[in-house]
Every structure is written in C-alpha cells, then in structure tokens.
Amino acid sequence: MKCILLVLGLGLMATAGAAEPSGPGAEFKGQGTAAVIEGGKKFDADAFTIALWAKPQVTQGAQVLAGRGAASEQFTLYFYNNRVRMLVEYAAGKYTHANVPLPQPGVWTHFAGTYDGRQIKLFINGKLEATAPAKGRVKPSEAPLFIGGIESADRSFAGRLEDVRFYNQALNDDAIPALLAAPQVAHPALVGRWAGAELGALIATRKPMAEKKFSQTAPHDEYTSVQDDGYRGIWYSNQKQNDEYVYKYSGGLGTYCSSHNPFAIYRPEVQKTFFCYGGTVKGKIELLHMVSYFDHKTGQVPRPTIIMNKRTDDAHDNPVMQIDQAGYIWIFSSSHGTARPSYIWKSVKPYDIEKFENILVTNFSYTQPWYLPGQGFLFLQTLYRGGRMLHFQTSSDGRTWSEPVLYGQIEMGHYQVSWCNGKKVACAFNFHPKPQGLNWRSNLYYMETSDFGRTWQNAQGETLKLPLTSVQNPALVHDYRAEKRNVYVQDLNFDAAGRPVVLYTTSGGYESGPVNDPRLWTTAAWNGKAWEIRGTIRSDNNYDMGSLYLEGDDLWRIIGPTENGPQAYNTSGEIAMWTSADRGASWQKVKQMTAGSQFNHGYCRRPVNAQPGFYALWADGHGRKPSESRLYFCNKAGDVFVLPAAMTGDFAKPEPLRPGQ
C-alpha cells in the first residue's frame, strides 16, 4: 500500500512579521473561477505536499484554495464554517480533516501541510499548528489539480493566490519554513510550481460541469435485499466544537434529517405502516438503508430488509420512501453532495419488503418524493449547483424522469420541508445568505403547486415566477434576517380547510450551548388572509426536531424532543407530547413520553396517513460521542415502544419502553 503525504497550509491568523510572496498573485473573483492543472496522473503519488500563499478578500462561506476531485474526494484545502480545513479522503467514501481558525482577510498567509497515511499536519507560515489522525491511503486517481475552486466549479475562492507548489513527497517539518522563500528551492520531488502570472493565465470563468456520471446499476453485495437480525440505527456527528458540547449536532440519526421525507407510510389495504431508516453494520458506523413495517393486525414487526450498504458513515445519505397506487414500495437512497451516487429502488412485489430491484443510479440530496395517484411522482430535491439549490422532477412511472427544474436559488441555497395534501404539494424553506452560508440560515418561505409542478403559488394564491432568486419575493412568510434569527424548518402540515401550517425553530446562532438561547418552536399558520406566527415551546438545541399533527379544526399536536435529555444542549433530548386548541397561541404539555434515558431521543417522524397504533418513529444516541442507537415508535396516546435490536425469529412484538431504559 502506498502512503500519501499531504502538506497543506491551513490558515490561522497571519503571524506578525511573516514574509510575503515576491509577486502580486493571481486574482480569483469567485463565481466559478478556477485554475485547472491538467495531467492528473502526475499528482497521484505515494506521498505529496501542497503549499501556497493566499490573501483572501473575505473568509466567510465555503471557499477552496486547492484540491483534487469533487467535494469530499481526494483532498481539499478550503475555508468552511469559520475554520480552514484540510480534508483527506483516507479510504473510499471516508474522510476527515484537520482544521484551524480562519486567517485575517486582506493579509498574505502561507499554508502548508502533510499527510503520510497516518496523520495530517497543518502548517501556518512555516509553523506546525494542527494535526489529525487519518490512517489509510487516498485512492488512486487521475483527477487534475484545481486551484481556487473544485471540480463542480463552485466554492470558488475570492482573493489572491501566489506560488502554488506540489511535491510527490512529504517534506520534513524542518523543510516547511523554506517554502516561504521566493527563490526556487531545488528539490527532486517538486512536481510543479505556479507563480501568480501563470495562474492568471489558467483562470477562466467556468460553467458548471456536466452532472457526474455514475454506473447505471447499483452495487450488489452481501448486504443487498437481505434480512437483518434486528433494528440498529446509525450514529453521526457534524462540525466539531472546542467545548463541552463537542458537536454542532450529533447522535442517533437514523431518521435524520428534517429535509428528508417521508420515512413512513400507512396503507389501509394491508393495515401496515411501512417505514425506512438509516441502519448500521453490526459493530460499525457504516450506513445501511433499511426498510420494514408495523403490522397493525398482529402488533408485530418482521426482520428489517437491508436495501443496500451506502458505504459511508454520513446520515445525510439516509433513505426515504414512497408507495405507488399499485402498492409497490419505492426507496430513494440519497447522497450528501455530489461525491457519491444516489439510487432509486422498487419492491419486486406490492406491499412486500423481501426483495427490491434497482431502477436508477443518479445523484440527488435532501430527498422528498411525493406520489400523486393518477399522475405519478413529484420529486422535490436539492442539487449542488453553486450551493444547495431546490429542484423538482416528475415521473409517471418512476423509471423515466423529466429534467430537474430549478425553483429555489436565493444566494447560497436552502433547506426545505414539504408535504402532500391531495393533489397539492407544498414546501417551506429558509435561505443561506451570502457570504456567511448555511450556518446563518434565516427567513421563512412557502410555495405550493396543485397541477403537478406546472405552476407554483404562494399562500395568497399568487403565481410565482421561478426560480426564486431574490431574498425579498412573494413567497416570503417572515423576514427573520432583519431580526438576526436563524431558522430551522421542522415540519409542514395542513389543517382541515387545507391551509398550511409550518413548524420551525428560531435561535440566535448555529453553535450548540446556551449562548444561542432562546430556541423557540414556532408555527406559521395561514388563516386564509395572513400568516399567524406564534410559539411558546422552548428546547436546548437547534436540531431538536419533531412532527406536527393537525387533528381537526381545534386540536394541534406536537411530538418531539422538547425536554432536556441526558446530554443537555446536544441534539435531541427527552420526548414530550404537546397539544394546542387555539392554533398555536398556547401549548400544553400533556405527556412526557421518555424520561431518565441513557441517550438523547430525537427526529420524531410523522407517517403519511398516520394511524393511532404507529404515530411517530425516531431513534436515540449519545449526544457527545459515538454510541449504539435504538429505534422507537409511539402510539397516539404517547406510549413508547422499542423496536427489537436482536431477533431470533422472523417476527417480534415491540416491547413497551421501561422508565430509564
């Protein structure tokens, strides 16, 4: 096995008195500009070093200094989430990064780093500042070297770059300071060196590349369409913090995220609630796409079926489902970004989970398919095209699909929730402002279609011109950016009159911990003339996600992790049931459904056509470190049941949750 060494400079504040490059550097203006060094085979080495000077104009948002391949592939040196990261894909589909604080805008900083198959080292102005373990080997590739952007021509750098060097060897720690010197240092491992003038000649404003092509068939291995011996959820974490809360969000995320829907569907023809979730390989954190059902006649569940091994630990790749009018079960296997393929599967038999066939291999994210009898699939999704942009596709049979239609493209993108009500499909979403990005998500928007996506309207019935590109537009429900509040959309439902109600959380910022309190669960309800915005429920994390049930004209219900859990201020907590008889003006906690738990519970998902015996589905997990994750459901009365983690027979009856379990 060959070793790969990556010397990457990740930016801390520029050292006082540090040298500067001899040249003025090449100007990168963002918006798709990048320099591409072709002949990628020469960059595929046992060990390598990347070093450069950078003078950023701004440091907010996602900006790439240098890298190879698409996002999360090979390596990327970039700004992201208030840090400078050196990301290395140390094994197929697995990556990690070392990171340091952002540099000072308008100041030249030298970045360098090393990866030797065991550890990433990061140097700032010649000084070692950070390390990260990463045992493995970057997979062989002929991808070119991208400077100031990535393969998809987004995440572009805004500022100047100078004296970029690539070596096919890891330089020793004491050799790094010499890279700051302007004169050429003779070294047999030097593959290439690009001064500012040469970079400037390579820069071109590039159109987004064609969509990545994947194999037309899904992988078939020992995991595909076989029965597992129990219900185990995936554990996942995102964005590490240097404090007691450890992560921005984390835990048992088998029913994550709110921008995926639906996870469960009841069908009266067979009296079963079918559901899917993100499972894991026994003894590992490796995502399996799982499907099962609860039989309302017997009160039992079968052994769950493994649709596929997604070969990642990223819960953003969780599956969702649909069921067509003939009873065939469709599984949509999502992907987080463009690095991995996405899949569509169909059950071989109606209302049967034993075997699935692969229908399509493509790429989509944040997956929300809706099936309308007599018409087909209206598939809301996110495509990474210069940001997280909202698109939809349609299909009458699930096999042949229209081209994606862009409908949301405000600044750096969106997160959305959606739901279907008869022939109406609607979505509610926030936006990611420039240049800060998704951690500063704000505002609330709403739009709907009743003609299979041909036209879209706001709640007032006004036809919208697509795509939406302006922050202030007719779909805007409330301007939270003016109030400096973040918005985290949770759920969308319709009252007895068919009017939308959106459930979401507002907070003072993206980090975990009390600094961003109060976190307020809020409803925006359309009354036929205006939006009624109300909320009194509080919880302790931005990603505390629950579901909203509208049960007639006068009873609303929320099931979600509103109560502090064993890992306070981390994602999720203890589950409670709340009701409102005045359209969200006030809420009463009618039952605390879990208490004294070992782990935090969260991401409570409402089934389509939810029945009293199976009213919400969720998972648990430790909020601050990897752990096992169990799956749960509740009935309408708020009684909680545990799906069996180990099964000896083909069917089992879920056990009631014991206090403190």
Nearest to 304 by CA among 313, 293, 315: 293
- Asked whether 350 and 362 are in contact (CB, 8 A), the reply is no
Query: Is residue 211 in a domain?
Result: no
CA atoms of 56 and 66, how far apart (whole Å) = 13
Q: Are residues 338 and 387 in the same domain?
A: yes
- Asked whether 486 and 510 are in contact (CB, 8 A), the reply is yes
Query: Is residue 218 in a domain?
Result: no
Label residue 185 by pLDDT band (50, 70, 90). low
Residues 35-69: tens digit of each pLDDT = 888 888 899 887 888 999 999 998 877 789 998 87
**Greatest distance between any 2 Cα atoms in the chain:** 79
Q: For the domain that residue 331 is a member of, what is the CATH number? A: 2.130.10.120
With a cut of 60, say whether residue 391 has pLDDT above it: yes
Q: Where are the beta strands (DSSP E) in 336-485?
A: 342-347, 356-362, 365-372, 376-384, 388-395, 405-408, 416-421, 424-431, 442-449, 476-478
Asked which of 172, 205, 238 is the last residue of a domain, the reply is: 205
Query: Is residue 144 in a domain?
Result: yes
Label residue 183 by pLDDT band (50, 70, 90). low
The reply to whether the predicted model has a pTM over 0.95 is no
Residues 326-365: tens digit of each pLDDT = 999 999 999 998 888 999 999 999 999 999 999 999 999 9
Q: Where are the beta strands (DSSP E) in 581-626?
A: 588-592, 600-605, 616-621
Q: Are residues 265 and 171 in the same domain?
A: no
CA atoms of 200 and 173, how far apart (whole Å) = 30
Asked which of 205, 234, 255 is the last residue of a domain, the reply is: 205
B/e letters for 497-516, b = 16+ CB within 10 Å, e = fewer, are eeebbbbbbbbeebbbbeeb
Query: What SS3 class is residue 43?
Result: helix
Q: Are residues 429 and 499 in the same domain?
A: yes
Q: Are residues 285 and 434 in the same domain?
A: yes
Look up tokens 């010397």; give the residue: 7
Nearest to 657 by CA among 627, 635, 624: 635
Copy the structure tokens of residue 448.
């709907």
Look up tokens 């990433």; give the residue: 120
Q: Which helix H or strand E contains 27, and what residues bound it?
A: strand 26-29
CA atoms of 328 and 330, how far apart (whole Å) = 6
Label residue 154 by pLDDT band (50, 70, 90). low
- Signed CA dihedral, 242, 245, 248, 251: sign only: positive
Query: Is residue 220 in a domain?
Result: no
Query: Is residue 219 in a domain?
Result: no
Q: Are residues 301 and 447 in the same domain?
A: yes
Query: Is residue 481 in a domain?
Result: yes
Burial class (CB in 10 A: 0-12, 13-18, 19+), 311: middle
Domain count for the chain, please give it. 2
Label residue 208 by pLDDT band (50, 70, 90). very low
Q: Are residues 162 and 243 in the same domain?
A: no
Residues 440-461: tens digit of each pLDDT = 999 999 999 999 999 999 999 9
Q: For the domain that residue 60 is a member of, what is the CATH number? A: 2.60.120.200
Q: Are residues 198 and 68 in the same domain?
A: yes
CA atoms of 459 and 134, how far apart (whole Å) = 50
Asked which of 173, 205, 237 is the last residue of a domain, the reply is: 205
What does each C-alpha distance from 448 to 128, 190, 265, 279, 475 come to in angstroms? 53, 57, 21, 33, 10
Half-sphere exposure of 616 (CA within 13 A, CB side): 28
Q: Phi then psi for 316, rounded to 5 degrees?
A: -60, -20
CA atoms of 432 and 486, how far apart (whole Å) = 10
In degrees, rounded to 5, the angle at the alpha carbon of residue 533 between the alpha carbons of residues 529 and 535 is: 150
Q: Are residues 182 and 298 in the same domain?
A: no
Q: Are residues 77 and 157 in the same domain?
A: yes
Question: What is the DSSP code (8-state) at residue 472?
Answer: S
The per-residue pLDDT for 73 is 77
Structural domain of 399: 226-656
- Asked whether 99 and 111 are in contact (CB, 8 A), the reply is no
Query: Is residue 217 in a domain?
Result: no
- Asked whether 117 and 5 are in contact (CB, 8 A), the reply is yes
The per-residue pLDDT for 4 is 36
Q: Are residues 88 and 236 in the same domain?
A: no
**Strand 119-124, strand 7-8: pairing:** parallel
Q: Are residues 78 and 160 in the same domain?
A: yes
The per-residue pLDDT for 358 is 94
CA atoms of 257 and 295, how far apart (whole Å) = 25
Q: Using a pLDDT cut of 70, give the percent of the chain over it.
A: 92
Residues 510-546: tens digit of each pLDDT = 999 999 999 999 999 999 999 999 999 999 999 999 9
CA atoms of 266 and 511, how far apart (whole Å) = 37
The per-residue pLDDT for 523 is 98
Q: Where are the beta strands (DSSP E) in 116-155?
A: 119-124, 127-133, 145-147
Query: What SS3 class is residue 648?
Result: coil
Copy the structure tokens of residue 373.
């009898």
With a cut of 60, say whether residue 9 has pLDDT above it: no
Query: Is residue 199 in a domain?
Result: yes
Q: Are residues 161 and 257 in the same domain?
A: no
